[in-house]
A = this chain, B = another copy of it.
Amino acid sequence: MTGRLQHLFRPRSVVLVGASDKSAWSQLIYGNLQDSGFVGEVMVVNKRGAPAHNITGYANCRDLPDTPDLAYVFVPGDAVQETLQDIAAAGIANVVLLSSGFAEAGPQGAALQREIGDFARQKGLNMLGPNSLGFNNYAGRVAISAFPVDQKARPGGLAVISQSGATAHVIGQFARMQGIGLGCVVATGNEEVLGLVDVLGHFIDDPETKAVAIFAESIKDPAGFRVVAARASEVGKPIVVLKVGKSELASQLAQAHTGSVTGDDATFDAVCRHYGVIRVDSLETLVIAAGLLADVGEIKGEIGIISISGGACEIMADRAATAGLDLAPFSAETKKRLCEILPDFGSVFNPLDVTGAAVRDPSLFTRILDILADDPAIGLVATVQDVPSAQGDTQNTPILTAIGRGLTAARVPGVLINQALQPISDHSRAVMTECGIPRAIGGVDHAMAAFGALQRWSRRPRHQTAARPIAQVADRPSSEQQALAWLRDRGIKVMPFALVTCADDAIAAWQKIGQPVVLKIASPDILHKSDIGGVRLDLDDEDAVRAAFDAVMAAARQHHPDADIEGCIVAPMRRGGVELFVGTARTPWGPVIAAGLGGVWIELLKDTSLRLLPVSPDDARAMLDELKGAKLLQGYRGSAPADLDAIAATISAIGDAALALGPELVSLEINPLLVRGAEIEALDALAVWQHGEG
């Protein structure tokens, strides 16, 4: 372990501030420290300087004979300020603050929290909390915690970070039940100084940590999260996260519970996808997927599964489809080899039903696993069978042994899948050792979710570390015609248009265009042109153009007497094609881009795809494939298929254009971007700036 937080999570000596033999908290905390196997020095401080837990007591930290690495503080809330001053004066660098009565208790507490936070920041204290239940570091054999140390836990490479103390405990306990080796389990509390992202960064850099499981209510440092997530992807350390707030109710609850808004859930999804962070939707999947990732890391190839239960194969196939797990068919060569040893096989699927033949001859399992592991396209092999959790559970030793042989011999990771979710207990592990089974997860439902996570992680996007630079410009296009002209200058195809200031010029523009036109009010102050009668369609004679110009100008002046009116835009009337919507937005997570089909697709179906900017043309192409309405672009009812690559290039260019406009740009929206076969044309554009709209 290295880094700034090394001695926070692995202190060599500890002072318990607030320790007392009479306090139940103190008993619990001291007991946990003992249970954790901590071998360093423990000191105690309390206001009377009395001994506690058979340890000499001091009245303050400054009087301690040595400077401990860490102070665990559980004094009453109103004594925290003084205590922190004492700690800083004593030169103690790391603090875990259990005391409550801060932001979680209302505005007054929040103010107090800010004060102690300012102090801690000023003094450079690494402070976890307040209101933090602390951590149980199983790998480091130290518990600075007010939640139970699980005596049955096994040290290992999975770090757990939770914004809920109770949930930290549940995750750790469930991981232990699943036989997963635990590193450090941290409850971050109110995150006044150190937050989830700081702790995550520490474990990403910690060489003993193999994967991190997170329970999050609200990511308070989005920019920091991106930096750490990028580093995790680069160094190949998986992050699995259960973040609440998908439903409106959960979002309200999180706000009530943490006092902070969880932010836009869809944007968080886009961030996770960008960096290969695996987002899951249950505690069980969080633990099982993170445990598998910690154990197996990245796989190079497809996942091949076999089972003696046809029912299990069918359940896995259904579940894989919903979990987004891609179970590729076996190669022709592998199928041929499988048919040689299983001549009765009608058809060879993945997952493979080995049929009852393997009851009579368990060695079939070994031979089939050998064939799968021989296939260079396969990166992981798995077999469904039950490993008993306890004495007296059913155990089929001949089959387990045959499976163990195959899994052990495989040149790729081998996994046994329990049919239903059950503990991987010490008894299970003994049976696994006896039968040569390297690892077991389960049941099939969670295994498919975990395999999906493993596959997504292994196939995560590899972004160029040096993304192509996008030079920022001083331009500040604001009105529609400015925005359109500016996009045109950046190489984005824009409909031909003219800005006119009198009816005669409008007529001249119509004549020059030589086909029916549309006429729209041009004003940076009028955003919803249609609503005020500021748009006229399909004009194709002098009188109509003139009347439209007059009417639109009058309507604008009537509805927006103070607006800066530049005139009218005259542009050709377009018909047919598919209308897309492309828009960028500034979010706490950074600038993002959304694309989708217009009209009902976006308004009723919310059928959009979202990415962090910049997007490459390849990324943008993947965005289009995600849309439910994608088929409309592929040529629906005899219309010409759109040039998807050209659309993707346009989306990418719009994203770059938005980035070039710098951080003051709130959003850049092209709506519609009209697609007719190979023709792509922006028909309208809107740039919104931070200060006002011009």
Residues of A bordering B, CB below 8 Å: 100, 105-106, 148, 150-152, 162-164, 166-167, 169-171, 173-174, 177, 215, 217, 242, 244-250, 252-254, 256-258, 281-284, 287, 308-315, 317-322, 327, 344, 346-347, 349, 351, 353, 356, 386, 389, 392-394, 419-423, 443-445, 600, 603-605, 628-629, 631-632, 636
Contact = CB atoms under 8 A, between A and B. Distances in A.
Given A281-B318, A445-B283, A356 B173 contact: no
A173 B386 CA distance: 10
Nearest to A257: B310
Nearest to A173: B394
A249 B317 contact: yes
A148 B388 CA distance: 13
Given A252-B349, A422-B177, A257 B314 contact: yes
B420 A283 contact: yes
Contacts of A320: 247, 249
Contacts of A347: 252, 256
Given A250-B321, A257-B310, A309-B166, A422 B315 contact: no
A573 B82 CA distance: 84
A420 B151 CA distance: 18
A689 to B, nearest CB: 29
A349 B255 CA distance: 12
A631 B602 CA distance: 13
B321 A246 contact: yes
Contacts of A346: 256
A315 B246 contact: no
B353 A253 contact: yes
A248 to B, nearest CB: 8
A53 to B, nearest CB: 21
Given A309-B166, A353-B256, A420-B174, A317 B244 contact: yes
Contacts of A258: 310
Q: Which of A244, A353, A444 has the most CB of B within 10 A?
A: A244
7 contacts: A163-B311, A167-B315, A174-B420, A249-B321, A257-B314, A281-B318, A603-B636
Interface centre among A249, A254, A349, A603 (most CB of B within 10 A): A249
A315 B244 contact: yes
Closest 3 CB pairs of A and B: A164-B311, A166-B309, A247-B321
Interface centre among A105, A173, A347 (most CB of B within 10 A): A173
B394 A169 contact: yes
Given A246-B318, A321-B246, A423 B389 contact: yes
A38 to B, nearest CB: 19
Most buried by B among A315, A351, A628: A315
Contacts of A171: 420
A386 B256 contact: no
B247 A318 contact: yes
B314 A283 contact: no
Given A312-B167, A604-B628, A249 B421 contact: no
A419 B169 CA distance: 10
Contacts of A322: 246-247, 281
Nearest to A150: B394
A320 B217 CA distance: 17
Given A150-B394, A253-B314, A629-B600, A308 B166 contact: yes
Contacts of A319: 281-282
Contacts of A217: 310-311, 314
A153 B309 CA distance: 22
B173 A393 contact: yes
A394 B148 contact: yes
B245 A315 contact: no
A502 B312 CA distance: 65
Contact of A256 (B152, B169, B349, B631): B349
A455 to B, nearest CB: 16
Contacts of A162: 311
A89 to B, nearest CB: 31
A329 to B, nearest CB: 9
Given A256-B353, A349-B253, A605-B628, A318 B245 contact: yes
Contacts of A245: 314, 318
Nearest to A422: B177
A429 to B, nearest CB: 15
Nearest to A631: B604
Contacts of A287: 420
Contacts of A392: 151-152
Contacts of A600: 629, 632, 636
Contacts of A423: 389, 422-423
Contacts of A215: 311
Given A309-B164, A423-B389, A247 B317 contact: yes
Nearest to A314: B244
**A257, A314, A321: which has the most chain B beta carbons within 10 Å?**
A314
A106 B344 CA distance: 9
A638 to B, nearest CB: 11
Contact of A166 (B164, B257, B311, B317): B311
A629 B599 CA distance: 12
A283 B315 contact: yes
Contacts of A166: 308-312, 419
A45 B162 CA distance: 64
Contact of A315 (B173, B242, B344, B444): B242
Contact of A250 (B163, B167, B314): B314
A594 B663 CA distance: 51
A170 B445 contact: no
A167 B244 contact: no
B174 A310 contact: no
A235 to B, nearest CB: 29
A420 B173 contact: yes
A241 to B, nearest CB: 13
Nearest to A350: B249
A153 B679 CA distance: 68
Nearest to A629: B604
Contacts of A318: 244-247, 249-250, 281
Nearest to A360: B24
B444 A257 contact: no
B150 A283 contact: no
A244 B315 CA distance: 6
Most buried by B among A312, A318, A344: A318
